[in-house]
């Protein structure tokens, strides 16, 4: 049985009758949270180059709840047979993250990780939270047989159970090590693409990062809002905004509404200015956004700073993307 974590219905798992209604916060959520998943021993296995888990029957969670599932359905041996024979081969695990309810989540977030990535997370959590990690199983390294179907299946089950435990423990879930495991590889690559002005490659990666974090953390948590703002910035930092810019901007505005984290105010003001400019580019009414800025000014908050949204993000989470 695959690892899964059951929890009560969260605010960021909406139930809507008309998902195309982008005028309401719930409609905005439903309208933008759809994305196609990324596609990403035994002598036979080594020749074929991949391992695939046999199909299983879907088990729905208790009515009225959602279930966070970590599943490894596919693993690939890299580099493929016949490519770069001098390079040491290794296994890449295709990790799918779903948030199931009465029906299966049809838009999972997918990332690829190696055994060393899982092991580094395990080691970091053991060092930082020894009590929480006491007697938690993790598969050992092996000297031979890394590419056997049995070993890959065994490790996949262990990785799923390990991640489920981490996501269900508030200290482990909120740790920098877990966030690093979930997003750092893809986020670093996306930021490099942004630095190279290759936004069309960066945006799908940022979308997948957002959906992954959005399934694990609360919708107004710092990791989720930060990646969402980075996505809005990526969609709007070129002369012609990305076709999805408005949808992500609407979602970001809805998420920041009634936000109480004063530390994230540094993102909110540049976000409002970014959205106001986007609305102007699209010929839409900017007044609802400028009214928010006016209300904040009346409360003594400086809203006239010239910091861009990307610059504000960079101050909180410095990476390589263009300022």
Tell me the per-residue pLDDT of 127-186, one tens digit each, with 9 for 90 and over: 999 999 999 999 998 877 678 899 999 999 999 999 999 999 999 999 999 999 999 999
Residues 124 and 199 occupy one common structural domain: no
Residues 152 and 71 occupy one common structural domain: yes
Using the 3D structure, point to which of 150, 173, 196 is the last residue of a domain: 173
Tell the burial category of 103 from Cβ atoms under 10 Å away from its Cβ (0-12, 13-18, 19+): exposed
pLDDT number for residue 9: 38
Residues 141 and 62 occupy one common structural domain: yes
- Asked whether residue 198 is domain-assigned, the answer is yes
Residues 169 and 84 occupy one common structural domain: yes
pLDDT at 8 over 50: no
Asked whether the beta carbons of 27 and 16 are under 8 A apart, the reply is: yes
pLDDT at 273 over 60: yes
Contacts of 236 (CB under 8 A, 6+ apart): 242, 245, 249, 274, 277, 278, 309
- Asked whether residue 323 is domain-assigned, the answer is no
pLDDT number for residue 29: 52
Residue 302 parent element (H or E)? none
Listed residue (65, 79, 78) closest to 5, CA to CA:
65
Cα–Cα distances (Å) from 273 to 62, 146, 199, 229, 253, in that order, read: 43, 52, 21, 12, 11
Residues 191 and 68 occupy one common structural domain: no
Quickly state the pLDDT bin for 34 (edges 50, 70, 90). very low
Residues 159 and 292 occupy one common structural domain: no
> Is the sign of the CA dihedral 36, 40, 45, 47 positive or negative?
positive
Quickly state the pLDDT bin for 114 (edges 50, 70, 90). very high
The C-alpha atoms of residue 173 and residue 125 are separated, in whole angstroms, by 10
Residues 25 and 59 occupy one common structural domain: yes
Q: What CATH number is associated with residue 89?
A: 3.30.1520.10
Length of the chain: 323
- Asked whether residue 218 is domain-assigned, the answer is yes
Phi, psi of 34 (to 5 degrees): -110, 125
Residues 186 and 46 occupy one common structural domain: no
Phi, psi of 94 (to 5 degrees): -90, 105
Q: Which residue has the tokens 């920098």?
A: 176
pLDDT number for residue 38: 40
Highest mean pLDDT among 7-11, 47-51, 159-163, 257-261: 159-163
Residues 156 and 208 occupy one common structural domain: no
- Asked whether residue 322 is domain-assigned, the answer is no
Range of the domain at 229: 179-316
| pLDDT tens-digit readout, 53-91 | 888 878 888 888 899 999 999 999 988 776 777 778 899
Using the 3D structure, point to which of 173, 203, 219 is the last residue of a domain: 173
Residues 161 and 224 occupy one common structural domain: no
The DSSP letter of residue 140 is P
The C-alpha atoms of residue 260 and residue 23 are separated, in whole angstroms, by 23
pLDDT number for residue 168: 97
Name the domain count of the chain. Answer: 2
The CB density around residue 318, as the number of other CB atoms within 10 Å, is 10
The C-alpha atoms of residue 315 and residue 299 are separated, in whole angstroms, by 24
Q: Find the mean pLDDT for residues 255-276.
A: 87
User: In whole numbers, what is the pLDDT of the chain averaged over residues?
Assistant: 85
HEC string of 60-124 equals: CCCCCEEEEEEEEEEEEEECCCCCCCCCCCEEEEEEEEEEECCCCCCCCEEEEEEHHHHHHHHHH
Residues 289 and 188 occupy one common structural domain: yes
Q: Find the mean pLDDT for residues 246-264.
A: 87
pLDDT number for residue 321: 59
Q: What CATH number is associated with residue 273?
A: 1.25.40.10
- Asked whether residue 132 is domain-assigned, the answer is yes
pLDDT at 37 over 60: no
Angle, helices 222-236/199-216, rounded to nearest 10 degrees: 160
What is the CA angle 109-71-94, rounded to 5? 65
Residues 140 and 259 occupy one common structural domain: no
The C-alpha atoms of residue 168 and residue 68 are separated, in whole angstroms, by 9
pLDDT number for residue 191: 94
Beta bridge mates, 114: 92
Three-state DSSP at 16 gives coil
Quickly state the pLDDT bin for 322 (edges 50, 70, 90). low
Q: Which of 157-166, 206-215, 248-257, 261-270 has the lowest mean pLDDT?
A: 261-270
Using the 3D structure, point to which of 151, 173, 195 is the last residue of a domain: 173
């Amino acid at each position: 049985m695959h690892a899964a974590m059951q929890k009560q219905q969260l605010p960021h798992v909406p139930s809507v009758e008309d998902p195309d209604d982008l005028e309401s916060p719930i409609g905005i959520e439903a309208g933008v949270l759809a994305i196609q998943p990324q596609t990403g021993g035994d002598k036979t296995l080594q020749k074929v180059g991949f391992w695939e888990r046999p199909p299983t029957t879907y088990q729905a969670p208790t009515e009225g709840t959602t279930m966070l599932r970590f599943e490894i359905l596919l693993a690939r041996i890299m580099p493929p047979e016949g490519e770069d024979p001098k390079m040491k081969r290794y296994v890449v695990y295709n990790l799918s993250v779903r948030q199931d309810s009465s029906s299966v989540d049809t838009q999972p977030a997918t990332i690829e990780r190696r055994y060393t990535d899982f092991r580094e997370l395990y080691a970091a959590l053991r060092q930082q939270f020894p009590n929480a990690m006491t007697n938690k199983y993790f598969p050992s390294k092996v000297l031979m047989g890394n590419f056997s179907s049995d070993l890959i299946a065994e490790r996949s089950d262990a990785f799923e159970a390990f991640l489920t435990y981490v996501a269900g423990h508030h200290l482990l879930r909120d740790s920098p090590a877990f966030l690093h495991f979930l997003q750092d590889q893809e986020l670093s690559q996306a930021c490099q693409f942004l630095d190279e002005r290759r936004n069309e490659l960066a945006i799908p990666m940022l979308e997948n990062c957002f959906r992954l974090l959005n399934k694990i953390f609360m919708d107004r948590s710092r990791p989720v809002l930060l990646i969402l703002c980075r996505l809005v910035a990526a969609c709007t930092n070129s002369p012609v905004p990305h076709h999805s810019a408005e949808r992500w901007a609407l979602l970001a505005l809805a998420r920041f509404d009634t936000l109480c984290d004063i530390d994230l105010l540094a993102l909110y003001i540049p976000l409002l200015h970014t959205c106001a400019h986007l609305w102007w580019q699209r010929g839409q009414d900017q007044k609802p956004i400028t009214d928010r800025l006016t209300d904040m000014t009346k409360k003594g908050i400086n809203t006239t700073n010239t910091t861009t949204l990307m610059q504000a993000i960079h101050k909180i989470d410095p990476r390589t993307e263009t300022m």
